């Protein structure tokens, strides 16, 4: 088959992070190619280089067999390449037609009527539905996506790249999109889909290429592939990490989550009927492709996320695991604290949610109990002592405990945050991507801290993205897929393929794991 685009030995680095390493990949004419990989495996970066967002550090790009330089999206359009990004690039207050006309060659006459006529022809050809006078802000996510596709087709592209197009769509909308993609293929265009949903890969694509940790693993024809082959290629062989995993002792139920559902501000159900228990003395890992409800789950438990009526999170204070359970849902974080619920939360967005960047360590230590000071004053002494203590114990590198924490390196920021949350003597400790962006040593410091908490009898909930770490650190792993609990497995008995499969393929209703 003839290649529409060939990538040859392409490498892209961001500082010390290697996003793509020596990737060689072909996109054939008239095919639907899926690019599959875990979070951070470099899928988007790779295609951004074709679309003119990034420029490769090394390697070359060939379009129709000729080496090309793609320095901007405009260059990409001129070569017939268009990309639909995960976050749409539309002007909210413009109509559909105006958005299509936006950025057209300035030499052309600005004629909205002509633009509209041509766009309508595209719609008829590929069976889109679009109201061209509608303003973008009043459109649904699916309509916006359709508009993005029309916008790209209007510029006459032959190669269309879609970055996780189905992440924001309902199943019905996904079907519609797939029909459109098939129409485009029939018209001889190449379509590349970035995704990590296995069933969609198998349904729509002709061929699958797999990336893992920035490297190209291989390609298979979809007709020869099945889920287990793809999962194995995607997650790879198990890596031994030598993370300590003490046996859980005296596990007591601390948290009972029942029927928890969350609907996002856009009206999409991001968590569906989640049920699980967390026990003191164990680490419950939560696995899932990012954006499958992990953030909402933790925030709902922490009192930061409104939940659908009927959901319940019960906190067991007494040591026999029975006694009086306290309801967490319906309380804000301060009320939760005042009720005597000892719950700590290390959020994903460290400086945007967990800490105040402009304050020093001292100021940040008092974030959750500044109101305990006498009268109307804040007590500075206790947080200062705590800051000194954490600085020494966790070896935080900072010029002074009053240096704004936003100036510290990522690892030190996380030490400050985790240190504070542990110092609060929690019974339940929730962490979201606690080692993201940290170097190996700091990561191991964090694992040790979590294990210490586990030994103290704390119920630790660890949301992670690295399956090797999840398998080595957790006692049980809860897998979220599409906002549902797709299985809870024993981390000592399971393997990467099983978890990988649970992450990417939603079990049918009624089907049971274990």
Partner 1 sequence: MSKPVKEPFLRIVKRDSASVPRKILVRLLAIVFALVLDALFIYFVTGLNPLSVYVVMFQGTFGTATRFSWAVRDLVTLLCIGIALAPAFKMKFWNIGAEGQVLMGALVTALIMVYMGRKVPSAVLFPLMIVSSVAVGAIWGLIPAYFKAKWKTNETLFTLMMNYIATSFVACAVNIMRGQASSLGKLNMGNKIGWFPKFLGQRYNINILVVVILTFAMFFYLKYTKHGYEITVVGESENTARYAGINVSKVIIRTMAISGAICGLCGLLIVCGRDQTISVNTAGGKGFTAIIVAWLAKFNTFTMALIAFLLIFLEKGAGEIASAYGLNDFASSIITGIILFCILGSEFFINFKMIFRTKAKKEGGNE
Kind and range of the H or E element at 326?
strand 325-327
356 contacts partner 1 (rule: CB under 8 A):
yes
* 182 vs 368, beta carbon nearer partner 1: 368
- Residue 98 contacts residue 91 (beta carbons within 8 Å): yes
Please tell me the distance from the alpha carbon of residue 264 to that of residue 179, in angstroms, as a whole number: 27
* Spatial CA neighbour of 459 closest among 431, 434, 491, 427: 427
Provide the β-strand partners of residue 193: 34, 162
Assess 353 for contact with partner 1 (CB under 8 A): yes
Segment near partner 1 (CB under 8 A), from 192-200, 286-294, 375-383, 452-460? 375-383
Given 56, 80, 285, 426, the residue binding partner 1 (CB under 8 A):
56
CA atoms of 413 and 442, how far apart (whole Å): 11
Output the smallest distance, CB 296 to partner 1, in A: 14
Q: Hey, which residues does 344 pair with through a beta bridge?
A: 429
Choosing from 355, 394, 427, 460, the residue that interacts with partner 1 (CB under 8 A) is 355
Minimum CB distance to partner 1, residue 103 (Å): 23
367 binds partner 1 (CB under 8 A): yes
State which of residues 373, 382, 410, 507 lies at the interface with partner 1 (CB under 8 A). 373
d(CA 412, CA 390): 11
- Residue number, 432 or 481, with CB nearest to partner 1: 432
When binding is defined by CB under 8 A, the residue of 280, 354, 411, 483 that contacts partner 1 is 354
Please enumerate in sequence order all residues whose Cβ is within 8 A of that of 30, keeping only pairs 6 or more positions apart, or say none: 185, 188, 189, 190
Using CB under 8 A, which of 167, 241, 359, 423 touches partner 1? Answer: 359
Instruction: Tell me the C-alpha distance between 329 and 326, whole Å.
Output: 9
Name the CA radius of gyration of the chain, rounded: 25
By beta-carbon proximity to partner 1, the closer residue of 316 and 345 is 345
Q: How far is the CB of 304 from partner 1 (least distance, A)?
A: 6
Q: Which range in 103-111, 133-141, 163-171, 369-377 contacts partner 1 by CB under 8 A?
A: 369-377
Residues 134-163 that bind partner 1 (CB under 8 A): none
**Minimum distance between the CB of residue 351 and partner 1, rounded to whole angstroms?**
8
Q: Which stretch binds partner 1 (CB under 8 A): 128-136, 199-207, 363-371, 463-471?
A: 363-371
Query: 33 exposed, middle or buried (CB, 10 Å; 0-12, 13-18, 19+)?
Result: buried
371 forms part of the interface with partner 1 (CB under 8 A):
yes
Burial class of residue 215 in the structure, from the number of CB atoms within 10 Å of its CB (0-12 exposed, 13-18 middle, 19+ buried): middle
Distances (CA, A) of 92 to 98, 101, 120, 170: 10, 14, 21, 22
Quote the least distance from Cβ 184 to partner 1, whole Å: 31
Question: Who contacts 333 (Cβ-Cβ below 8 Å, separation ≥6)?
Answer: 302, 303, 304, 368
> How many binding residues for partner 1 (CB under 8 A)?
40
Residues 292-311 close enough to bind partner 1 by CB under 8 A: 302-304
Answer for which of 1, 55, 102, 327 binds partner 1 (CB under 8 A) is 55
d(CA 362, CA 385): 8
Q: State the nearest-atom distance from the C-beta of 472 to partner 1, in Å.
A: 29
Residue 157 near residue 191 (C-beta atoms within 8 A): no
Of the candidate spans 223-231, 287-295, 315-323, 353-361, the one that interacts with partner 1 by CB under 8 A turns out to be 353-361
Q: What is the footprint of partner 1 within residues 378-407 (CB under 8 A)? A: 378, 380, 407
Alpha helices in 394-439 (DSSP H): 410-423
Using CB under 8 A as the binding rule, whether residue 248 contacts partner 1 is answered as: no
Listing DSSP states for 230-299 in one string gives HHHHHH-S--------PPP-S-EEEEEEEEEEEE-TTS-EEEEEEEEEEEETSEEEEE--TTSSHHHHHH
Burial class (CB in 10 A: 0-12, 13-18, 19+), 514: exposed
- Does 68 engage in binding with partner 1 (CB under 8 A)? no
Q: Establish if 366 lies at the interface with partner 1 (CB under 8 A).
A: yes
Of these, 15, 16, 171, 267, which contacts partner 1 (CB under 8 A)?
15
**Phi, psi for 275 (deg, rounded to 5):** -135, 130
Site mask, partner 1, residues 323-352, x = CB under 8 A? ---------xxxxxx-------x-x-x-xx
Q: Nearest approach, Cβ of 352 to partner 1 (angstroms)?
A: 5
β-pair partners for 84: 162
Residue 323 is classified by DSSP as S
Give CA–CA dist 108/208, Å, rounded. 39
- State the minimum distance, in angstroms, from the CB of residue 407 to partner 1: 6
**Residue 361 contacts partner 1 per CB under 8 A:** no
Provide, rounded to whole angstroms, the least separation between the CB of residue 316 and partner 1: 22
Q: Given candidates 85, 368, 436, 456, which one binds partner 1 under the rule CB under 8 A?
A: 368
Judged by the rule CB under 8 A, the positions of this chain that interact with partner 1 are 15, 55-58, 60, 69, 302-304, 332-337, 345, 347, 349, 351-359, 363, 366-368, 370-371, 373, 376-378, 380, 407
């Amino acid at each position: 088959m003839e290649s529409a685009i060939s990538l040859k030995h392409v490498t892209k680095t961001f500082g010390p992070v290697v996003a793509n390493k020596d990737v060689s990949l072909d996109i054939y004419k008239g095919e639907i190619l899926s690019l599959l990989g875990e979070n951070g495996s470099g899928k988007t970066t790779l295609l951004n280089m074709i679309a003119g967002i990034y420029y490769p550090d090394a390697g070359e790009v060939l379009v129709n067999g000729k080496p090309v330089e793609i320095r901007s999206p405009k260059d990409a359009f001129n070569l017939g390449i268009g990309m639909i990004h995960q976050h749409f690039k539309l002007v909210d207050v413009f109509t559909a037609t105006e958005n299509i006309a936006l950025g057209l060659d300035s030499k052309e006459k600005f004629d909205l009527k002509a633009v509209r006529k041509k766009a309508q022809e595209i719609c008829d050809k590929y069976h889109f539905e679009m109201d061209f006078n509608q303003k973008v802000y009043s459109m649904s996510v699916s309509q916006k996506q359709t508009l993005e596709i029309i916008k790209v087709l209007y510029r006459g592209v032959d190669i269309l790249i879609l970055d996780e197009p189905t992440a924001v769509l309902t199943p019905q909308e996904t079907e519609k999109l797939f029909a459109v993609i098939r129409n485009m293929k029939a018209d001889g265009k190449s379509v590349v889909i970035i995704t990590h949903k296995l069933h969609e890969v198998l349904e729509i694509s002709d061929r699958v290429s797999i990336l893992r940790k920035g490297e190209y693993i291989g390609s298979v024809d979809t007709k020869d592939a099945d889920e287990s082959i793809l999962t194995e290629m995607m997650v790879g062989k198990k890596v031994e990490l030598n993370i300590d995993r003490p046996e859980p002792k005296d596990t007591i139920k601390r948290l009972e989550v029942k029927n928890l559902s969350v609907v996002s501000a856009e009206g999409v159900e991001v968590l569906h009927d989640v049920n699980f228990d967390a026990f003191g003395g164990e680490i419950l890992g939560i696995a899932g492709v990012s954006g499958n409800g992990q953030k909402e789950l933790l925030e709902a438990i922490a009192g930061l996320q409104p939940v659908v009526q009927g959901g319940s999170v019960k906190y067991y204070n007494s040591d026999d695991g029975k006694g009086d359970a306290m309801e967490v849902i319906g309380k804000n974080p301060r009320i939760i604290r005042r009720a005597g619920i000892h719950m700590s939360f290390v959020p994903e967005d460290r400086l945007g949610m967990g800490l105040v960047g402009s304050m020093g360590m001292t100021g940040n230590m008092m974030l959750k109990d500044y109101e305990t000071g006498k009268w109307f004053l804040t007590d500075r002494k206790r947080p200062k002592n705590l800051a000194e203590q954490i600085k020494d114990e966790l070896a935080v590198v900072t010029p002074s405990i009053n240096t704004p924490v936003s100036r510290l390196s990522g690892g030190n920021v996380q030490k400050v945050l985790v240190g504070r949350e542990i110092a609060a003597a929690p019974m339940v400790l929730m962490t979201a991507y606690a080692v993201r962006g940290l170097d190996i040593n700091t990561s191991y410091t964090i694992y040790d801290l979590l294990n210490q908490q586990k030994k103290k009898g704390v119920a630790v909930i660890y949301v992670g993205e690295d399956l090797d770490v999840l398998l080595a650190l957790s006692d049980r792993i809860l897998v979220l897929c599409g906002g549902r609990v797709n299985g809870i497995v024993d981390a000592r008995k399971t393997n990467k393929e099983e978890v990988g499969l649970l992450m990417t393929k939603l079990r049918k209703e009624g089907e049971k794991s274990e």
